[in-house]
Amino acid sequence: MIKKIVPMLGFILLLGILLTTTLVAVDSFTAPMIQRNEEIKRKTTILKAFNIDYTEENLDQVFPEQITMKGSAGQRYYVSDDGRFAFIFTGAGLWGPIEGVLSMEKDVRTIYNIELIRQEETPGLGSRIAERDFLNRFQEKQFSPELAMVPEGQSDAQNEVDSITGATMSSKALIEILNQQYEQFSNTVSGE
């Protein structure tokens, strides 16, 4: 009985070592590519938030010419050559993380643009927060004192944003993330 188990355990152990080694090798090989793709996504999203034109070929040239990174590791932010500000925000949505870039006018109160890097909300409902129509609702809105979500079609004040019917909770989650992260960003910018 033991003579039958030993070869089987040896085979399973050998197979486990082989598969683990293969996975580690593939991870080591692809890690730099994944990191580069994440850097490209971050840079392109920041440029889009500032409405700066670029191509895939000139991305690495345009970004440092047009954008300056400031702040500390705890709160980095970006300044465009025309004096606008932007920061990367991240937080918990209703079903998963939401990450994006919020660009601000020179007054550091008025929203210039917003772009999402990634979101994991429910496809067809909550994922509508990534639609351009919804993101455009934030343009020219002000953090005074903070953004507020109102039912669709009812925004009157400078700080009110129309929610998406059917995606109210995801809309509110995004607003909460923006309000929280804006406060940190504002404190960082005013402290420099």
Say which residue, 139 or 71, is predicted with more confidence: 139
**Three-class HEC string of 140-175:** CCECCCCCEEECCCCCCCCCEEECCCCCHHHHHHHH
CB 189 within 8 A of CB 68: no
pLDDT tens for 112-134 read 999 999 998 888 777 888 889 98
pLDDT at 13: 93
Please report which confidence band the pLDDT of residue 192 belongs to, taking 50, 70 and 90 as the band edges. Answer: low
Q: What pLDDT was estimated at residue 3?
A: 77
Task: Tell me: pLDDT of 14 over 70.
Answer: yes
Could you read off the pLDDT of 71-83 as tens digits, one per residue? Answer: 877 789 999 999 9
Domain chopping of the chain, boundaries? 1-192
Distance of CA 126 to the CA centre of its chain: 16
Q: Taking CA 47 as the corner, what is the angle to CA 118 and CA 177, rounded to the nearest 5 degrees?
A: 40
- Choose the weakest-confidence range: 1-5, 6-10, 29-33: 1-5
Cα–Cα distance measured from residue 161 to residue 148, given in angstroms and rounded to the nearest whole number: 6
Tokens of 30: 């692809």
| Separation of alpha carbons 165 and 127, rounded Å | 12
Could you tell me which residue, 166 or 55, shows the higher pLDDT?
Answer: 55
